[in-house]
Amino acid sequence: MSNQNDPLFQPHHLGELALPNRILMSPLTRSRSSQPGDIPNDMNARYYQQRASAGLILSEATQVSPQGKGYAFTPGIHSQEQIEGWKKVTGAVHMAGGRIHMQLWHVGRISHPDLQPNGEKPVAPSAIKPEGAKTFISADSGMVDIPEPRALETAEMTDIVEQYRQGALNAKEAGFDGVEVHAANGYLLDQFIKSGSNHRTDEYGGSVENRLRLPLMVVEAVIDVWGKDKVGVRVSPTGSFNAMDDDNPAETFGTFARHLNDLGIAYIEVVEDSFQGNHANGRPEEVIDAIRAGFKGTYIANGAYTADEARKRIDEGRCDLVTFGRPFIANPDLPERFRQNAPLNDWDDSTFYGGDEHGYTDYPTLIELEKSA
């Protein structure tokens, strides 16, 4: 297939941003920020710069506040030092001709008092312990159980919205091209959206409209900072990671999609399987249909895609763009490998979280492999 006809190499406009290809880099937690302070560093900048040929990079999930932190060594966007660190990243990506959005993150209940300000309980829509969910609180802790969280008071919702608004402002100062609101994978906004984790009886729980209230308030606040064409949202309608479930994902996320369409955001990124690549039941086509029916902006698909499946589903109109995670970890030049149908480096999952350059910035490109041959 010539590149002229290859669906992966057709340009695409995401708001004002012109993407040269449809091969996007997923948001990927790598837990390598500098301590103390969860500050992005030169090694992080090099990692992102190596992957700047992506149509768009979505940054690793980045906590909008100290309360929003759920794992050791993940970066934040709530201090001036973090903003300065992220400037290194965005500058390096832009210098290499790339584009990058920041993913704004609050983990909600997926945290631990050892990671929280003053050792407080993590917060959530409801005081429901996520059974089986784990985190790591230090380099030596291993995976630890997550305790029962504290239910947020109704009066605290405005502060949650403010945390995201300030994070969006800080991301702008740090030089990003836009932002993605993380409403997936069992973190705070997903906890509000899904019926299994939201048992509230006030205006933020119960009906679908009530469960969507806080996430939509957050998206509106972020739009106020960035403008609607530079904002996206990530969702995982059928994801069970972090002990999540919803009574009717097609209705819930179809409704969310309609509201997001009314707000005019640039894109929805949909995790089309359970986080971590569970394809036992295939892709949830009924839910995808409901989201596509409600949302007329750009649809970004995610979930253990191969290049060929991405081509096929773009061709069939099932998605517009595709995010790739683990293949981008191991292949900094992933678009070029897809262009040439070249073999891919294997990833080493033992180096996904934490550590140094090994398994981070030392995966070779095709050109480097040719030179060493």
User: Per-residue pLDDT tens for 55-74?
Assistant: 999 999 999 999 999 999 99
Q: What was the pLDDT predicted at 212?
A: 98
Is there a catalytic annotation at residue 187? Answer: yes
Count Cβ neighbours within 10 Å for each residue of 211-223 and write b for 16 or more, e otherwise: bbbbbbbbbbbbb
Determine the angle formed by the axes of helices 208-226 and 249-263, rounding to 10 degrees. Answer: 30
- 252-302 residue pLDDT tens: 999 999 999 999 999 999 999 755 445 567 899 999 999 999 999 999 999
Give the three-state DSSP class for 215: helix
How large is the average pLDDT for residues 160-177? 98
pLDDT over 60 (residue 148):
yes
Q: Which of 86-90, 219-223, 270-274, 321-325 is least confident?
A: 270-274
Question: What is the 8-class DSSP label of residue 176?
Answer: -
pLDDT value, residue 240: 87
Which whole number is the average pLDDT over 166-179?
Answer: 98
Residue range 112-122: mean pLDDT, rounded:
98
Is pLDDT at 1 greater than 70 in this prediction?
A: no
Inside any domain, residue 248: yes
Provide the domain limits for residue 79.
7-372
Q: How confident is the model at residue 196 (pLDDT cuts 50, 70, 90)?
A: very high
Give dist(CA 127, CA 129) in Å, integer.
7
Specify the higher pLDDT residue, 139 or 361.
361
- With beta carbons less than 8 A apart as the criterion, state whether 270 and 301 touch: yes
Number of structural domains found in the chain: 1
What gap in Å lies between CA 193 and CA 276, rounded to an integer?
20
The CATH number given to whatever domain includes residue 124 is: 3.20.20.70
According to the model, what pLDDT value does residue 277 have?
47
Q: Report the candidate in 330, 310, 329 with the shortest Cα–Cα distance to residue 21.
A: 310
From 164, 187, 267, 305, the catalytic residue = 187
The residue type at 256: F
Q: What is the mean pLDDT of the chain?
A: 96
pTM (two decimals)? 0.97
Percent of the chain at pLDDT > 70 equals 98
Give phi and psi for 274, each to the nearest 5. Answer: -65, 130
Q: pLDDT by residue (tens digit) across 338-366?
A: 999 999 999 999 999 999 999 999 999 99
Mean pLDDT, residues 218-232: 98
Whether 223 contacts 265, CB under 8 Å = yes
